[in-house]
Amino acid sequence: MSRQYESMIAAANLENYQYHLVKVSAANKVNRQHSAGGDIFGVLNNKPKADEHATVVVGGVTRCFAGGTIAAGNEITATASATAVAAASGDFIIGQAITAVASGSNFQMLITHAGYKS
């Protein structure tokens, strides 16, 4: 599966959030996800400052930053810090982990936008 990108504008300074989870915050703008388990647009692929071009991976395999221990095969959601964790019931599922990872490191994830976990 090829990687799919969307070109957006950073709504805030996101230079420290490469590979973190982002949401649409206004027309053509993204910001880091502030709501644990909430809707997720994709994974930020660059390091934009406010009002700069933000490249967001919205499909395919991408690198992502873990906010907790993740096993390969886990369904993935967001923390309130825009990091990735294993999804629990009621969380929005952005994708599935391809590799295992400890908190604070990057891992490989297939973006699926699978909806809310039951």
pLDDT in tens, 15-62: 999 999 999 999 999 999 999 999 999 999 999 999 999 999 999 999
pLDDT at 1 over 70: no
pLDDT in tens, 76-105: 999 999 999 999 999 999 999 999 999 999
Mean pLDDT along residues 58-71: 97
Strand bridging mode 53-65 / 42-44? antiparallel
Domain 1-118 has CATH 2.60.40: no
How far apart are alpha carbons 86 and 12 in whole angstroms?
A: 26
